[in-house]
Structure 1
Amino acid sequence: MNAFLEQPACAEERGTWCANVYELTGHDWLAASADWLIAKPLKILLILGIAFLIRFALHRVIGKVTTPPPNGESKSPALLRSLRERSSVLNSDTLAERRRQRAATIGSVLKSITSFVVFLIAAMLVLSELGINLGPILASAGVVGVAVGFGAQNLVRDFLSGIFMMVEDQYGVGDYIDAGEAEGTVETVGLRVTTLRDINGTVWYVRNGEIMRVGNYSQSYAVAVVNVPLAYNSNIDGASELLATVAQQVTGEDPVRAEVLEAPEVLGVTAMTPEYIQLRLTVKVKPGSQWMVQRALHGRITTALAEAGFERPMPRIFGGNNP
C-alpha cells in the first residue's frame, strides 16, 4: 500500500500525464512511468501513422503522374512525353511500349526514394522520442555509406546512368541504337542494364554505366543515304537526272511510299577518288525504315544505270614495278 501513499512530484503538475494517471489510479509508479507507458507510445504511433499517410499520398501522386492511360486513350501523362516523343513518328504500339517501360521504371524509382526518405525521417523522430542520441548513429551511417559507395561505385554509376537515361528518354524499346560495343534493337530498358538484339539475333546486355555515347537511329526521323559511284567519263548531269527520276518512282510506290517523309534530294558529287566519282541521294524517312528504303533505291538505281549505259568504276590494280 506504500505505493499508493507516496505521491510522485510530477503528480503536482496539473494537466500532465503523470497527474492524470495518478488521479485515476492513485499508483505512484504508474503515474511516474506514464510518460513512457502512454505518452511516448502514442507519439510513436502518431509519427508512424503520419509517415504511412504521407507515403500513401506521395505514391498516389507518383502513380497519377507516371501511369500510362488505358488502351484506346490518346492522352498520356506529361512526364512520359518527352519533346522527341511529341514529334515522333513511331508507331503507336512501339510508343506505348516505350511509355509503359519508362513509366514502370521511373515510378518505381520515385516510389522507392519517397518511401526511403519518409521512413528514414520517421525512424529518426522515433529514436529521438526514445531518447537515443542520433549523433553517433548518423556518424556511423556516414562511414558505412562511404565504404559502400567505394565498394559498389560501378553499381551506383549504372543506376545513376539508368535514371538519367530514363528521364531524358535517350532511347527506348524498339529503337535501333549504337551503344559502342554493341549495336542493335532495344528489347528492354532497366536502371542497371539495357538489352539489345543485333542483326544476327545475338542478345547483348549492356551496363548503363559503361555506355559513353549512344547513337539512336530511331528518333523523330531517319535519312536513307544512297552513294552511287560512277566512272570519270560519265555524264554527271545525266546521271543526276536519272537518279532523281528513279528516286521519285521508287518513293511513290508501295511499300516505300508509306515510309517517306520528304521528297528525295540529289546532292550531286560528294567525293572524288582515283577510281570513281561519287553521287549522293538522300531521302528523309520514318525512323527504322532507312535500310529498307536504301535497299529499294539501290536495286532500282543499279538497274537504271546499267540500262542507260553508264559505266561503273573498276578498281585500279597496280603492278609491283609501277611507281
Structure 2
Amino acid sequence: MCNTDVVCSRVYEWTGNQWLANSSYWIITKPLRIIGIILAAIVIRWLLHRSIKRLTNSTTRASMPALLKPLKERTAQTAEEGQFIPERRRQRAEAIGSVLRSFVTAVVFTMASLLVFGELGFNLGPLLASAGIVGVALGFGAQSLVKDLIAGLFMLLEDQYGVGDTVDLGEAVGVVETVGLRITTVRDMRGVLWYIRNGEIVRVGNKSQGWALVVIDIPIGFINSEEAIGVLKTAAETVAESPEHQNEFIEPPDVVGVEQLTVDGAVIRTIAKTTAEGQPILQRELRRALTEALELAGLSERIAASRLMPRSAVPPAFMQPSEPDQREDGAG
C-alpha cells in the first residue's frame, strides 16, 4: 500500500497497478527532482552570468563601473580621456568577467551535482573527502599556475597596468600589448616580445598612469645663476602659455634653481608636471625652448667661455714641460 505517499496513491488510482504505484517514487519523483535541480542550476547560472555581463558591458559607457574601480585612489581623468574607453578597461572587464563567470559556473554546477548524487542515494561524506584530497593534490602539483592566476586577478582588480602602458617589470621594459590572468606580454624598445608569468612579477613601474614629471637639467658654467634662471623661467612660461601645449601642463613649470655644482660649473633644474601621454612631447619642447632662450639671450657663448676660463687662467710658469721638451733638454 502507498500509505501517505500522494504520488503513489495517484498512480494507483490512475493505473490500478500496485507495482507501478510502489515504483512511482523512483520512476517519477526522483527523475523530476533531478530535472528540477538541473533546471534550477541552469536558471541560476544564466541569471548570474547575465548580471556579470551587464556589469562588465557597462565599460562601454564613459563612467567607470564599480567592479573596475581600483583599490587605491587614482588621478582624475582629463576631459579628453573621458570621451573614449581605453583598450585597457575593455580588456580588464573581459578578463574579470571571464573569471567571475567561470567561478559561478563551477560553484553552481558543483552544488547541483552534489544534490543530484544525494537524490540518487550516494553517501556524500566519502565523496567530499575524496574531492578534498584530489583538490589538495592538484593544488600542490599546480602551485605555479595557481600563483599566476591569483596574481593576475589582483593585478586586474588593482589596475596596476593595462594595454598601452609603458612599464618596467624588471628585465622587461616596454609597452604592454596584452594582459591575461596568467601571462602578460610586453614589447620592448628593440621590438622583442616578452611573455611574463604574472606570478613572477615582483614589482611594477608604470610610466603611463596618472601624471608624469618632466625634469630638465641644463649646465650654465660659471655665469651668473640668477640671470640664467630668469631667462629659463621666461622660456618655460612661454611654452606653458602656448595654445598647442597649455593643455599638457597639470601645473605651471618651475625653475627650481641650482641643482648641483660640477667641475664645469652650476646645473639649473627645470621641472614641469604633465600628463603621462604628453611627457615625451613636452620634454622635447621644453628642452628646445630653454636651449634657444639661452642662445638668444647671448648666454650660450658666455657659458662656453666660462667653462674654458679656469684652464686658460693657469699661469705658464706652472705648466709642466711636455715630453718632447724634456728630451730636447736632455740632449742639450
Tell me, yes or no, whether TM beats 0.5. yes
SS of residue matched to 1:173: coil
- What per-residue deviation string (whole Å, max 9, x for no partner) do you get for residues 77-104 of structure 1? 3323446567123735774322211111
SS of residue matched to 1:57: helix
Stretches of structure 1 that go unaligned for 5 or more consecutive residues are 1-10, 317-323
2:62·2:84 contact (CA, 8 Å) conserved in 1? no
Residue 272 (1) aligns with residue 272 (2)? no
CA distance in 1, matches of 2:257, 2:186: 36
Residue 215 (1) aligns with residue 208 (2)? no
TM-score by length of 1: 0.84
SS of residue matched to 1:162: helix
Residue 196 of structure 1 is matched in structure 2 by 186
Return the offset for 1:212: 1.0
Q: Of the two, which has the highest radius of gyration?
A: 2
54-63 vs 84-93, greater mean Cα deviation = 84-93
Query: CA 1:67–1:213 in 2, change beyond 3 Å: closer, same or farther?
Result: same
Give, as a single letter, the amino acid of the residue that structure 2 aligns with 1:310: I
SS of residue matched to 1:263: coil
182-191 vs 243-252, greater mean Cα deviation = 243-252
Stretches of structure 2 that go unaligned for 5 or more consecutive residues are 311-332
Count of matched residue positions in the alignment of Structure 1 and Structure 2: 302
Residue 78 (1) aligns with residue 39 (2)? no
Residue 119 (1) aligns with residue 109 (2)? yes
Q: Which among 294, 307, 310 is matched to residue 303 of structure 2?
A: 310
Aligned identity (percent) is 46
Query: CA 1:242–1:31 in 2, change beyond 3 Å: closer, same or farther?
Result: same
CA distance in 2, matches of 1:95, 1:203: 25
Residue 228 of structure 1 is matched in structure 2 by 218
CA distance in 1, matches of 2:49, 2:73: 27
Give, as a single letter, the amino acid of the residue that structure 2 aligns with 1:304: A
TM-score by length of 2: 0.82
214-223 vs 255-264, greater mean Cα deviation = 255-264
Residue 157 of structure 1 is matched in structure 2 by 147
302-311 vs 95-104, greater mean Cα deviation = 302-311
Q: Which among 220, 227, 235 is matched to residue 246 of structure 1?
A: 235
Residue 279 of structure 2 is matched in structure 1 by 290
Q: CA RMSD in A?
A: 2.5
- What per-residue deviation string (whole Å, max 9, x for no partner) do you get for residues 129-155 of structure 1? 111112222222212211211221111
Give, as a single letter, the amino acid of the residue that structure 1 aligns with 2:108: V
Residue 34 of structure 1 is matched in structure 2 by 24
Q: How does 1:253-268 map to 2 (within 5 A)?
A: 253=242, 255-268=244-257
Return the offset for 1:201: 2.6
Give, as a single letter, the amino acid of the residue that structure 1 aligns with 2:178: T
Give, as a single letter, the amino acid of the residue that structure 2 aligns with 1:78: A
SS of residue matched to 2:163: coil
